[in-house]
């Protein structure tokens, strides 16, 4: 079984620079009509650019109650840990950690991603998966200039795609996409080219209740042509707050013959919001 990440992230004591405000529920203010849509492919257009405030940043942390088959059996969190530099580029370090599971299949999974906030693309991805009797650690480096990736420990780089996304950064990317109910968005952004396109179906809007409270939500179905939480057969659904923050409120899926769900317990907003360069249309 694989972890999520905001994939997944939904992404350990962590030190944050500066003062951190107390935990609070996501704002439910509606998205303002003046907000401009972010270009879906984030490709270079040659047009002038402007900095857009992203719905997440350093200090953001969401805590989740984890249920297996409808029974509470664990906890998880998704956070933006820090700003760092990789190969001269400013990145956001995100982490998703989930622990729990039934007595016969304990899970302790961690997904970490280092994301360029200007292009919403990954520069590094790390998996630490402890699932039942199976332990696995993998780290991937993404080289944007030559469109390749390298799994650490292997001899050769492999072809990738422009502005690649990994399993953990995908949910953060979805939070920047303008979501219109009834639409399906398609992206050739997953770092392994043969697993594209990645799709996001916007299913509906509804009001839901989670341990953190009641919220208006937009429900999306992410689909990746790979095994795991967002495989097409898992029929995963993600509830995002229907406001500017697009906080992951709830997530449900079925894979490896197990029903898994996450429900928001608490949310701490970012102390340092990030920005993205967006083409002016």
Distance CA 73, CA 104 (A): 12
Instruction: Please check the confidence at residue 102 and state whether its pLDDT lies above 90.
Output: no
Q: Who has greater pLDDT, 235 or 13?
A: 235
Q: What is the mean pLDDT of residues 261-273?
A: 91
Q: Domain segments of the chain: what residues?
A: 49-279
Among candidate residues 190, 193, 183, 260, the one with its CA nearest the CA of residue 218: 183
The tens digit of pLDDT for each residue in 32-80 reads 322 233 333 433 333 333 456 899 999 999 999 998 877 888 899 999 9
Question: Quick one: which of 217, 98, 105 has its CA closest to 167?
Answer: 98
Q: How far apart are CA 39 and CA 33, in angstroms?
A: 17
**CA 157 centroid distance within chain:** 25
Which helix or strand (DSSP H or E) is residue 173 part of?
Answer: helix 169-174
Please give the model's pTM, rounded to 2 decimal places: 0.76
Strands 272-279 and 49-58: antiparallel
Per-residue pLDDT, 255: 58
- 232 compared with 167, residue with greater pLDDT: 167
Q: Can you tell me which residue has the tokens 């905001």?
A: 6
Question: Residue range 109-115: average pLDDT?
Answer: 93
Mean pLDDT in residue range 115-124: 95
Q: Virtual CA dihedral for 236, 251, 5, 27, nearest 10 degrees? A: 140
Q: What's the pLDDT score for residue 53?
A: 80
CATH of domain 49-279: 2.50.20
Q: How far is CA 129 from the centre of its chain?
A: 17
Q: Tell me the torsion sign for CA atoms 254, 256, 111, 19.
A: positive
Q: Is 52 helix (H, G, I), strand (E, B) or coil?
A: strand
- Band (pLDDT 50/70/90 cuts) for residue 12 is very low
- The pLDDT of residue 155: 92
Using pLDDT thresholds of 50, 70 and 90, give the confidence band for residue 233: low
Mean pLDDT for the stretch of residues 17-36: 32
pLDDT of residue 279: 36
Residue spans of alpha helices (H) in the chain: 169-174
């Amino acid at each position: 079984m694989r972890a999520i990440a905001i994939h997944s992230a939904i992404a350990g004591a962590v030190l944050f620079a500066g003062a951190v405000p107390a935990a609070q529920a996501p704002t439910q203010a509606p998205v303002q009509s003046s907000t401009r849509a972010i270009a879906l492919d984030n490709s270079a257009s040659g047009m002038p650019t402007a900095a857009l405030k992203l719905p997440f940043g350093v200090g953001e942390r969401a805590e989740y109650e984890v249920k297996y088959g409808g029974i509470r059996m664990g906890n998880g969190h998704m956070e933006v840990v820090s700003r760092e530099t990789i190969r001269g580029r400013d990145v956001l370090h995100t982490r998703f950690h989930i622990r729990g599971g039934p007595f016969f299949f304990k899970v302790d999974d961690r997904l970490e991603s280092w994301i360029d906030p200007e292009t919403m693309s990954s520069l590094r991805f790390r998996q630490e998966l402890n699932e039942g009797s199976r332990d696995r650690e993998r780290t991937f480096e993404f080289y944007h200039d030559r469109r390749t990736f390298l799994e650490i420990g292997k001899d050769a780089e492999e072809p990738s795609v422009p502005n690649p996304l990994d399993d953990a950064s995908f949910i953060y990317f979805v939070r920047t996409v303008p979501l219109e109910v009834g639409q399906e968005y398609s992206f050739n952004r997953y770092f392994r080219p043969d697993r594209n396109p990645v799709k996001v179906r916007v299913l509906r809007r509804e009001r839901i209740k989670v341990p953190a409270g009641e919220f208006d939500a937009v429900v999306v179905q992410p689909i990746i042509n790979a095994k795991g939480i967002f495989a097409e057969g898992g029929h995963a659904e993600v509830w995002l707050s229907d406001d500017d923050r697009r906080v992951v409120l709830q997530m449900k899926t079925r894979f490896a013959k197990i029903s898994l769900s996450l429900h928001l317990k608490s949310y701490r907003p970012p102390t340092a919001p990030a920005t993205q360069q967006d083409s002016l249309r």
